[in-house]
Amino acid sequence: MMRRFVICLTVVSAVLGVTKAADPAFKKVSKTVSLGKYTPKGIVKFNGVSVSKRIIPDLEKLIAAAKKDRLTLKVKSGYRSYDYQVKTFNSWTENERKKNPKLTRKEAEGIANTYSARPGHSEHQLGTTVDVLSSENGFQFSSDPKLKYIAWLEKNAPKYNFTISYPRDSKEYVYEPWHLRWYPPKKIVALAKS
């Protein structure tokens, strides 16, 4: 009797473990919501870039599907730790102050924050977010609407559970068509709830 109870509890907690609320892949991150010093589990290398191993099957499918449509995509950036973000944000802020020495530190941070997240506020800290670039412009960051891969990603990324977090009308950051966040497929969440 006791054993059955223990097994039952294990099953319930296993199911609950992958529900939307508990799954870190659903964590909200924004300019006002911080992840703090959160460190995800299961970070591995994918073609030299650190990412959560959970996203690799869908990432491989996305890249293969693009290839069929004659587009060569490459993951340029993935997981970024809290400490890495501190360095990056400081360097963007310094860059703004070099461009305009009259800016106060706070003003320079404000400008940097239109295109770069403050430490703890980047979706890249989740490990499930990647920047994907294309060979058609030498793998450069660009939101030029003439780039074929941008339209391709807008249409096809959702098929592989990726969302463009900062679309054309984003109020959070400037348009970043290359920035894709992966969410666990709905069927997994539905299964966990049933």
| Burial class of residue 2 (count of CB atoms within 10 Å of its CB; 0-12, 13-18, 19+) | exposed
Q: Pick the stretch among 10-18, 109-117, 123-131, 181-189 that binds Zn ion (CB under 5 A).
A: 123-131
Question: Would you say 93 or 128 has its CB closer to Zn ion?
Answer: 128
b/e per residue, 111-128, with b = 16+ CB within 10 A? Answer: bbbeebbebbbbbbbbbb
Q: Pick the stretch among 31-39, 51-59, 146-154, 174-182 that binds Zn ion (CB under 5 A).
A: 174-182
Helix (H, G, I), strand (E, B) or coil at 15: helix
Q: Based on the shown chain and the rule CB under 5 A, indicate whether residue 172 belongs to the binding site for Zn ion.
A: no
At closest approach, how far in Å is the CB of 176 from Zn ion? 6
Q: How many CA atoms lie within 13 Å of 6's alpha carbon, on the beta-carbon side? A: 3
Question: Would you say 92 or 97 has its CB closer to Zn ion?
Answer: 92
Q: Pick the stretch among 59-67, 84-92, 110-118, 172-180 that binds Zn ion (CB under 5 A).
A: 172-180
By CB under 5 A, the count of residues binding Zn ion is 2
Report the alpha-carbon distance of residue 191 to residue 186 in Å, rounded. Answer: 9
The edge-to-edge listing of strands for the beta sheet with 129-134 is 73-77, 129-134, 179-182, 162-164
Determine the residue type at 105: R
> Which of 23, 131, 137, 156 is close enough to bind Zn ion by CB under 5 A?
131
User: Would you say how long the chain is, in residues?
Assistant: 194
Q: Based on the shown chain and the rule CB under 5 A, indicate whether residue 179 belongs to the binding site for Zn ion.
A: yes
Question: Would you say 97 or 179 has its CB closer to Zn ion?
Answer: 179
At closest approach, how far in Å is the CB of 79 from Zn ion? 11
At closest approach, how far in Å is the CB of 23 from Zn ion? 21
Does residue 65 contact residue 153 with C-beta atoms inside 8 Å? no
Question: Would you say 97 or 116 has its CB closer to Zn ion?
Answer: 116
At closest approach, how far in Å is the CB of 144 from Zn ion? 17
Angle between helices 105-112 and 82-99 (to 10 degrees): 110
Q: Based on the shown chain and the rule CB under 5 A, indicate whether residue 181 belongs to the binding site for Zn ion.
A: no
Q: Footprint of Zn ion on this chain (CB under 5 A)? A: 131, 179
